[in-house]
Amino acid sequence: MLIGRYFLKAQKTNVLFAPEGLISGQFFLTQGFEQNLLLISGQGFELLVNEFGNLSITDPLARLLSRLMLGNAVQISVDSDSLICIPDHLAEFAQIKEQAVLVGQGKYFELWSPVFWQEQENRLMDAALNSNRFNLYNISFA
């Protein structure tokens, strides 16, 4: 289960140091939906690729989504030193430089620049909006 929020510092350009033991092995890094990046396990990415295989190639939105998620994806290895190497095109898209915020989403992580993450946090801290905007989701603990 990939949960929590972690503040990462760059060891050098486009190389982030993750907390020891948090993640290791083969991952895929791709463009997210909100000027962020998605860090997905190899197994999770394989499931995602299979889902795309079920979409119609004649559907223009399906092709566009596939280009976004698969066309920008790169396979990375998070080594024993817990280093995450971000390719230039993805670092530029997400504007990740010296620092990043790693946010667990259960089955994957989001990777944010601190500036864009602060915008998300501001939205999340609006209690008046939160009490109503999520009521469409049927979430229970049972």
Q: What is the pLDDT of residues 42-97, one digit of tens each?
A: 999 999 999 999 999 999 999 999 999 999 999 998 877 888 999 999 999 999 99
CA atoms in the 13 A half-sphere facing the CB of 102: 23
pLDDT value, residue 141? 83
The answer for residues whose C-beta is within 8 angstroms of residue 57's C-beta and 6 or more apart is: 63
8 — phi, psi (to 5°)? -110, 145
Is 58 part of a structural domain of the chain?
A: yes
Find the CATH number of the domain harbouring 85.
Answer: 3.40.1550.20
Domain count, the chain: 1
Residue 141 lies in a domain: no
Task: Tell me, yes or no, whether 138 lies in a domain.
Answer: no
pLDDT of residue 33: 96
Find the domain containing 82 and state its range.
5-133
Q: Above 90 in pLDDT, residue 1?
A: no
- In a domain, residue 142? The reply is no
Q: Does residue 66 fall inside a structural domain?
A: yes
Q: pLDDT band at 41, cuts 50/70/90?
A: very high
Kindly tell me the sign of the dihedral angle through the C-alpha atoms of 62, 88, 97, 19: positive
Sequence-distant (6+) residues with CB within 8 A of 33 are none
Domain membership flag for residue 139:
no
Whether residue 26 lies inside any domain: the answer is: yes
Find tokens 């999340």 and name the residue: 124
Out of 25-29, 39-43, 70-74, 123-127, least confident range: 123-127
The per-residue pLDDT for 68 is: 95
